[in-house]
Structure 1
Amino acid sequence: MASKSLQYDAAVGGTVKLPEEIDSVEFNEERLTEMKTLLRNIASTEKQTKLMHQSLPLHMRRRAMTYNPKRLPRKFRSIHLAQFSKSGLPEKKKRPSRKYRRKTANLLKEYERRKRTNVWLETHIWHAKRFHMTAKWGYKIPYTPTRKVYRACYRATAKHCLLQDTSYMGCIEICGPDETLKNGLSRLCSQEIGLTITAKAFLGGRRSGNVHLYEKDRYPFDCIGKIRFLWRAQDAGSDGRTLWIFAHPVFYKKLIQEFIGLFGLKNVHRHDNAMEVNASSESKIKEITTSPGTVRIPQYVNKVSGVTIKELKDALNYFRLAGPLSHVILGKALKTYKPSDNIRLKHWYTNWSEDLARKKVIKEQLCFWDNARNLTSTVEFTPGLVIGLVIADPRLNRPKKRTKALPGTIMTPQCLPENTIHTAFSPLWDHSIRDRIFHEMQSTHELNLLRAKECLVPGEKCAFEDYVQPIPVLLIQNPGSQDAEYKRLGYGSGWDLIVPAGYGLAVWQTLIMWGAKPAGLKEFDMQALETGVDLNTVPDTVLGKSEADVEYEKCWNKYFSRPNNRRVNYKKYAIASPFRCPWGQLVSEWVAAANPPKYYVLRDQEALGKIQLSLQRKFNIKSAKLSAEALIPLFLTMKSRGNPGDNSIICLPLRHDFRKNKQQGASHDNSPVYTEPLRKDPCQKERHLLRSSHLRLLKRLRNRRIREKKARQRKNPGTLIRIARPQNQTLIREQLVKIRELWLPAKPSSVRNQCSRECFGYVTRSSFSLSEGKVTALGYVTAKGLEKLFKICIKGTFKVLVRGTKSRCYRFATIKVRVEQTPF
């Protein structure tokens, strides 16, 4: 071991030795230049290329120094601030504390800022604390609760009450002479579908209905969508009529444009410039973000014919209650308003109720509702019945804790008085009354202050409650399923509740306190599948096409965001279009037309009834004379295990498929009837060659840029020259389009013969049905394909083969025709 007095190099046998002393003068002279350079770089900010926080030693640097000067030593902070002030970058301020941000005024400003992107419903704050929210159709809509409630929501529709806020449905008010409105609206619908808007059953205003609207004189093509309509109950001798139409926000503007062209209307405010208002920008922002009750309503007028249209979008709250207890909950939550005789009131109801004719209306409504509120079910009412009520403020009629409303005394329908035109009359139709109700509404905080001041006995009525203004509402009955062979009779029945602007949250919370189950958009789709009617996936409507395009783009981008070895090769699975249903190409191949013909969904009640009789072998399908361009709506029920999923293909079976299915049933075998053989991808080699040639081209272009850089460096020695940026964005974009076309062509070569079994339809929505206990699906098939199915299925029930897009297994499913028995 080496001695401690020896140095390290000498201890290991080396020859290097350190001097025993250092000459300080010589050492300082050698380090003088380095010290001068260091001091000059620190003191000067004019000639140095680095910023102050970049000039510090490595051990003193912090990542937060760029935006927080307090991270630097105190003597360098002024230099750092001077550098950032010259660059023009704003100094980032510290985020305000949560206590400051949660102040009421600051919170409201933040809400108004966030409302500019998507419109909020009046119940948004309540939903945002309990639901997953999604931006859809220009609104912030509750999608699904944060807890598991899927089965609970089904039980609510089957045994209790499910509540949904559908206030995003836009309202259109049409006013004008009776004959003018009838002649114009009759051109947008057809009597072949069922009762139209101008049917006598609806003109009185006592009943509401649903109908499909088309472009002017274009039936059965160019369907706009399904709307709900309601005529205003008018006094005798009045020529003018008023109609409310509730439309989905996707085709709301298109419907407005259709009405403008139909009645020859002009915009009343067309000369107004929305940005040149005699007000400050802050007041303009406040007008945009305030409640819809104060926003100017767009209006279109034809002075010659006297027709007027108003856009009441976001001016009304629209709630939907479904389930057998929905009527009981409304009976508990809606308490009719009965003013005190010895108190002089100052709200809108005082002047409105002084008319003798209106006193008769109020008396009939009170009598009808007092007898109707004790009924046990909604199905006991007339389908589409409209009831107008004036109720007390719902915030004064809540239980202390959430209570499940249950029916009391059982009454029979014979005890219910006949509904008249007075039953459907409501002051909610009057725009001036709605505005006054909105502006004179007392906040919940004001009511709580009054209750704390005047309430002596908890739970007892206070004196101030007699002075709180009442609110008018409209009730519209939904009969639910009317065909016991298709779905359980009465399933989905309930009420639609229309409430004026400002009282949406108050009514919503009252219904929740009385036992209604809140649901979102996901549960709304579940209910649509359970009832067998899904408006979001109808292929010929504006809503159906829009939703299909959105879903296609989402699935397309998700598919190509995966690496090549993680993508499903649909060509090997013999799937031509996995992300959308190519209806036009499917119909054209069955019609054998060169150009894709226009297609439409068959809604003719008589034709659908004949097809249903044909499935029961009571009618010849040839006698129905179906158009080759028609798509037949079907309800499919899987006979064995497996969920095919959306966009699944519906195929025609072969004779030996039926024999194999019969053998499997006898032996309780749940294996698929037929499995598509795995095919080869004809474009796989071409994709590999195209990809390798593309990479070689990019490498060659890069080498060219490097050679250009080196040549410039030789011409200008000592100058810093960077490699040029690649200008190959167009090249890469074209390569991406080619590769994607080889993976999934935009227009497949064949849809009808894409696999071993002949395809004649597609499934638009598929899921496990809790009411059926099986996997059910909604789909559409071509008329020619359905006629061919009747030739194949000689005996037994009619069955089709269904295969998912990610599976090679075919399984049988039974079919039913979706026939809407009533337009309500």
Structure 2
Amino acid sequence: MSDSNEDGFNVNMRLPTSLTLSKFAVARGREIQIMKNSLSTSTCTKLAFQKLPKHLRRRTMSHNVKRLPRRLRMIHLAQMKKSGLPPKQKRPSRKYRRRPRNLLSEYTRRQRRINWLNTHIWHAKRFHMVEKWGYKLPHCPCDKAFRACYRATTKHCLMQDISYHKCIEISGEFEKLVDSFKKITDPNIGLTIGAYAYKKGSKEGRIVLHDIDNPSKVIGDVSFLWRPIKTKFLNQSVSHLWLWLHPSFQSEALRTIKKCFGFPDVTSDGVQTLKSNDNIQLRENMYDLNRFRLTGPLSTAVLCNAFQLSEKHTVDWLKDFQNLPGEHLLKMKPYWEYLRSVSDPSVLPPHFVLPLIILDPRYNFPKAKTKSLPLKKSALEQIQDPNITDSPLWSFKIRCLLPHRKVSNAKIAEMRQSLLVPGSDLELPPEAIPVILVQRPGVRSNQYNGYSSGWDIILPATYAQPIWLSLIMWGGRPGGLRETDSIGFEANAEPMLSPDTKAGVEEEVLVSNKCKDEFFRLPPNKRTNYNKFRITSPFEFNWKLLLNEWKSSDIPVEDFTVIRDKKVLRQIQQVLSSSDKNAKLPQLAENQLVPVTISLLKKGPCHNFAIICLPESKDFSKEPTEPNCRDSNESKRKQMRKEHKSLLKKLRKRRVRAKRDNKIIPLDKEMLKNYTMQMRKLWLPETKTLRHSCSREVMGFVKQGGFSFLLSKSKGIGYIASCSLEKLLFLKCKNKVLIRNTNSKQYRLGILDVIID
């Protein structure tokens, strides 16, 4: 029996010699939680606002609960209800009162005319949005961060949502699929869809689709990925293939693919599944797969911080894969650990695929936006192509189950609110997300040093918004369509929509009409008089007319193509850059265009629609200037304008007299339309000649021009006629050409290089 003092306290009480920290922390945590709950509930007779000090009390607290601190609002509302005076619930604003009851149904209704991305709401608040290819897409950030986005591609990480690329899945026998694609592809352009490097599913490939009825007609570039077949849980006789189609030509490509495999040509708004007579199945994965693109040296670090590999795969949606998750983790974990130490994704094997199973990124959000940096170098010196295993993301059933297994944002917010220590990490759930990473090598050269390298993330559409926000919080900078064009321009890449495709022609028409509308919105004294500059096609790329003027035969050119054969392009580049005077060009057709880049030798800008011309021997010592030219239509425009003004005065007097007699004379809209059309033809006459339109022979056009931050000077990307190369070599100019902008008479020397993608 221990001794006690007068107050009843035990004097001889001894503390224990050891203490179990975990049990002690759990016990104290329970006590703190009980104390926290007791503080939140009131048992005294005081009202809620009476607990506050006098300097914080307000008279309006009795009828406006928002005047109280948050910790006392619920107690105050309960007390007001008990007193029989229910608080008046008034909507804070008219905008809130008119808010739809079901936001999801309202968003679905607004997408009847045009499609939205899953990240549309996030982008719409921060980006300038444009309607393009049937989608509402982000064009550029509202913060005017052009240089910041460029710095992100060179030093940090730029993010883009490219989920507008449509994914279709084709399954069937491997040999039948490869044989059918031979009808709509050209083996001379590059590796085919059945190449050994791609059929294992360890790399993503790229092919060029051709029209099945007209093989010379190109549809566009398509990315493809085979499902890995090295797994005992997958039927070896069935191969699965994903194709990613650009929205500008996806309808044309789908129609060609259906005709090639014998599918019925049926259109549908939802997920469409078709089956042919050869047991080949086609499914459109338009709404259950998304794709993000990360560009920049820190893109790997952003991925490694945002994604955490799932180590416990005891979830229901993996039961079809049995032992695959554990085997998958053992194989992918060493490569994932190596990626955490990689300073630049361009050093990795090109286009290799890495399937992962990650945890929900909402559970490891950083406290604030954090710049991700690579860790110290790993012990592994080099990474080899991993032995890729199958990914649960290929299963359509699992993609359908993921939306039902997802934890809502409200539930996660409630879990964060109930944390004992605010801001601490949440307890990780057993749920996991399958994703597929695809490496992009960028430009591998000493001059560009891996520019535009990064990763593509293929992910379930259900988790598009959480993963996007997680990547933003870990240092990714968002970009839009403008950044896509900027990256391709800096990397000397050929435009995605080539001029020999239907989608490319439509894009050129849209750009041309937009430039014409901007030109004619200007007053006459502010417009550039292109007739005096001897520019016959200031807002159009007349490729057919240019090729017809350069050809030697009498047969007119109706269809033209862009040279895509890498062997031919390399031969042309070697001839242009070699010092051998007897070097000869390969045999080229007269209806072909050569993709080229021109970098200016001296200062000066290079704009879109600039003309590429042949130089003369005297031009190398001094850059020439176009001689002055008279505009023959100037007097006609002045006369028409004078007659039109007098006619308008007569019509106005006639309307005034008719108004006095209570009569109305309708406006002659047809007359005004004819006048506008005739005046526009005098400003921009129909193009009849291109090659000999000015003092130097025109070889081609600059399709995209501007200042290059990588080269620190202006450059342009365009196309030239194939027949013009022979005369360029005949003049002994090699790879030197002239460039002249449409609003200038000054020619500038530039170096011409062939684009070999």
- Local SS of the residue matching 1:503: helix
2:293 pairs with 1:320: yes
Within the alignment, does 1:745 sit opposite 2:669 as a pair? Answer: no
Q: Which residue of 2 aligns with 1:37?
A: none
* Structure-1 residue corresponding to 2:601: 639
Contact 1:365-1:389 at 8 Å conserved across structures = yes
How far residue 461 of structure 1 moved from its aligned partner, in angstroms, is 4.7
- The structural deviation recorded for 1:543 is 3.4
Is residue 730 from structure 1 mapped to residue 684 from structure 2 by the alignment? no
- Name the structure 2 match of 1:577: 537
* Cα distance in 1 for residues equivalent to 2:638 and 2:306: 67
Contact 1:537 1:765 in 2 (8 A): no
- Which residue does the alignment assign to 2:243? 245
Q: Deviations over 1:188-215 (max 9, x none)?
A: 2222211122211111111001222221
- 2:151 is matched with which residue: 147, 152, 155? 155
Q: Tell me the TM-score normalized by structure 2.
A: 0.82
Partner of 2:566: 605
1:644 is displaced (CA, Å) by: 2.6
How far 1:693 sits from its partner (Å)?
4.9
Deviations 1:481-518 (A, max 9, x none): 1243xx41311111100110121110111111111121
Partner of 2:587: 625
SS at structure 1 position matched to 2:488? helix
Amino acid at match of 1:472: P
Return the alpha-carbon distance in structure 2 between the equivalents of residues 112 and 96 of structure 1.
25
How far apart, CA to CA, are the structure 2 residues paired with 1:334 and 1:602? 42
- Residue 127 of structure 2 aligns with which residue? 131
State the shift of 1:185 in Å: 1.0
Of 576-585 and 104-113, the range deviating more from structure 2: 104-113
Structure 2 residues not aligned, in runs of 5+: 1-91
- Structure 1 pair 231/525, CA: closer, same or farther in 2 (3 Å)? same
TM-superposed deviation, 1:457: 3.8
CA distance in 1, matches of 2:607, 2:518: 17
- Give the equivalent residue in structure 1 for 2:72: none
Query: The residue matched to 2:468 in structure 1 has which SS?
Result: helix
In the aligned structure 1, how far is the partner of 2:593 from the partner of 2:128?
Answer: 36
Quick check: 1:647–1:762 contact (8 Å CA) kept in 2?
yes
* Alignment of structure 1 residues 384-399 onto 2, 5 Å: 384-399=351-366
8 Å CA contact retained: 1:525, 1:534: no
| CA displacement, residues 427-462 of structure 1 (integer Å, 9 cap, x when unaligned) | 111111111102321121111212333x33445554
1:444 pairs, out of 399, 402, 409, with: 409
SS at match of 1:675: coil
Residue in 2 that maps onto 1:76:
none
Task: Provide the rounded CA distance (Å) in 2 between the counterparts of 1:114 and 1:610.
Answer: 53
Report the alpha carbon displacement of residue 678 of structure 1 after superposing the two structures with TM.
2.3
Rounded Cα–Cα distance in structure 1 between residues aligned with 2:143 and 2:236? 53
Summarize deviations over 1:92-146 as a string: whole Å, max 9, x none: xxx9713324x57365555444333432212222222222222222222222122
Give, in angstroms, the shift of residue 347 of structure 1. 3.9
Contact 1:174/1:309 (<8 A) preserved: yes
Aligned equivalents of 1:800 and 1:314: distance in 2? 48
The offset of 1:603, in angstroms, is: 1.0
Q: Give yes or no for contact 1:188–1:217 (8 Å, CA) kept in 2.
A: no
Q: Is the 8 A contact 1:267 1:299 kept in 2?
A: no
Partner of 2:306: 333
CA distance in 2, matches of 1:409, 1:549: 51
- Distance in 2, matches of 1:429 and 1:677, equals 64
What SS is found at the alignment partner of 2:253? helix
Contact 1:644 1:805 in 2 (8 A): no
Give the fraction of aligned pairs with identical amino acids, expressed as a percent: 36
Structure 1 residues without counterparts, runs of 5 or longer: 1-94, 271-294, 661-672, 714-719
Distance, in Å, in 2 between the alignment partners of 1:371 and 1:232 is 24
Within 2, Cα distance between the matches of 1:466 and 1:323?
31
Map 1:24-173; keep pairs closer than 5 Å.
Answer: 97-101=94-98, 105=101, 108=104, 110-173=106-169
Distance 1:567 1:269 in 2: 46
Q: CA deviation at 1:738?
A: 2.4
Give secondary structure in 1 for the equivalent of 2:275.
strand
Q: Tell me the secondary structure at the aligned position of residue 105 of structure 1.
A: coil
Name 1:190's counterpart in structure 2.
186
> AA paired with 1:725?
P
What amino acid does structure 1 have at the position aligned with 2:429?
D
The one-letter amino acid paired with 1:348 is W
Map Cα deviations across residues 750-786 of structure 1 (whole Å, 9 max, x no partner).
1111111110110011111111111111011111112
Output one character per residue of 1:614-656: Cα deviation in whole Å (capped at 9) or x when no partner.
Answer: 1222665534112221111111111122213101000011111
- Which AA in structure 2 matches 1:740? R
CA RMSD of aligned residues (A): 2.7
Give the CA deviation at 1:676. Answer: 1.2
Residue of structure 2 in register with 1:292 after alignment: none
Counterpart residue identity of residue 676, structure 1? E
Matched-pair contact (CA < 8 Å) for 1:385–1:477: yes
In the other structure, the counterpart of 2:467 is: 507
The SS at the match of 1:502 is helix
3-state SS in 1 of match to 2:462: coil
* Cα distance in 2 for residues equivalent to 1:800 and 1:417: 44
**Which residue pairs with 1:548 in the alignment?**
508
1:532-547 equivalences in 2 (<5 Å): 532-536=492-496, 538-547=498-507
In structure 2, distance between residues paired with 1:413 and 1:599: 50
3-state SS of paired residue (2:723) = helix
Confirm whether residue 685 of structure 1 aligns to residue 635 of structure 2.
yes
1:416 and 1:800, CA in 2 relative to 1: closer, same or farther beyond 3 A? closer
Cα offset for 1:477?
Answer: 0.5
Q: What TM-score, normalized by structure 1, do the two folds share?
A: 0.76
Q: Once the 2 structures are TM-superposed, how far is the Cα of residue 418 of structure 1 from its aligned partner?
A: 4.9
Matches within 5 A, 1:516-535: 516-535=476-495
1:790 to 693, 711, 729: 729
Match of 2:278 in 1: 305
CA distance in structure 1 between the partners assigned to 2:417 and 2:655 by the alignment: 80
Preserved CA contact (<8 Å) 1:639 1:813:
yes
How many residues matched?
Answer: 662
- 1:497 paired residue number: 457
The one-letter code matched in structure 2 to 1:521 is L
Q: 2:31 corresponds to which residue?
A: none
> In the TM superposition, what are the counterparts of 1:367-386 in structure 2 within 5 Å?
367-386=334-353
The correspondence of residues 418-457 of structure 1 with structure 2, limited to 5 A, is 418-422=385-389, 425-453=390-418, 455-457=419-421
The reply on whether 1:466 has 2:429 as its aligned counterpart is: yes
Q: What is the CA distance between 1:379 and its match in structure 2? A: 2.5
Distance 1:568 1:386 in 2: 52
Distance 2:629 2:95 in 1: 61
- Specify the alignment match of 1:208 in structure 2: 204
1:764 aligns with 2:703: yes
- Structure 1 Cα separation of the partners of residues 423 and 671 of structure 2: 75
Decide whether the 8 Å contact of 1:186 with 1:198 is kept in 2. Answer: no
2:331 to 351, 364, 386: 364
CA 1:623–1:146 in structure 2 vs 1: closer, same or farther (change >3 Å)?
closer
State the Cα distance separating 1:706 from its structure 2 match: 8.8
What amino acid does structure 1 have at the position aligned with 2:335? F
How far apart are 1:569 and its partner, in Å?
1.3
Match of 1:348 in 2: 317
SS at match of 1:497: strand
- 1:744 counterpart letter in structure 2: L
More displaced 10-residue stretch of structure 1: 127-136 or 797-806? 127-136
2:354 and 2:388 in contact (8 A); partners too: no
Paired letter, 2:386: N
Would you say the 8 A contact 1:753–1:759 is kept in 2? yes
Partner SS for 1:741 = helix
